[in-house]
Amino acid sequence: MNDFDFLFGAWTVTNRRLVSPLTGSSEWDEFPATSVARPVFGGAANVDEITFPTKGFSGFTLRLFDVEREEWSLYWASSRTGTLFPPVVGRFVDGRGEFYGDDAHEGTPVRARFVWSEITPDSARWEQAFSVDGAKTWETNWIMELSRA
């Protein structure tokens, strides 16, 4: 239940996002962000808000821990749409968190994967990848490098 305790507090974030996912493009856009995360429900859930000042939008993540299944459900919302995206679900093993779910990218059904790794008291890495072939291959399309503010 304490897997995300490392995330609580303020962060500066360097983002690298693939400009055109699922097109074969290798062009990346790099941009800054700031994020603040805090626990709720005594640590059985947490939230964070991330602001992308050069992009003109922000995001919100809700993470809920299912005590019976011992896994997390991660929900993302963007200020651009005002909608909550379908969750990715998973857990941490040996300090690495992997979370999977079904979604769509510009109308194309995708399997989504979030990975939390390289976690230290002052840094962490998050990656998002999509698969369109039943999770046989993955295309990483967003990387966040977090540094403690």
Alpha-carbon distances of 85 from 33, 73, 78, rounded to whole Å: 20, 12, 9
Q: Which pLDDT tens digit goes with each residue over 69-94?
A: 999 999 999 999 999 999 999 999 99
> Which among 57, 125, 65 has a CA at the least distance from the CA of 96?
125
Residue 96: CB partners within 8 Å, gap ≥ 6?
Answer: 115, 116, 117
User: Pick the residue with more confidence: 1 or 49?
Assistant: 49
1, pLDDT greater than 90: no
Mean pLDDT of the region 48-70: 97
CATH 2.40.128.20 correct for 5-19+29-148: yes
Q: Supply the pLDDT for residue 17.
A: 97
| Residue 61 in this model has a pLDDT that exceeds 90 | yes
3-state secondary structure of 6: helix
How far apart are the C-alpha atoms of 28 and 41, rounded to whole Å? 37
Q: What is the mean pLDDT of residues 47-55?
A: 98
Please check whether residue 65 is in contact with residue 1, taking contact to mean a CB–CB distance below 8 angstroms.
Answer: yes
- Enter the pTM of the model: 0.95
- Position 103 confidence tier, pLDDT thresholds 50, 70, 90: very high
pLDDT at 33 over 90: yes
Residue 123 in this model has a pLDDT that exceeds 90: yes
Contact in structure between 16 and 143 (CB atoms under 8 Å): yes
Provide the pLDDT for residue 89: 98
> Which pLDDT score, from 0 to 100, does residue 43 have?
87
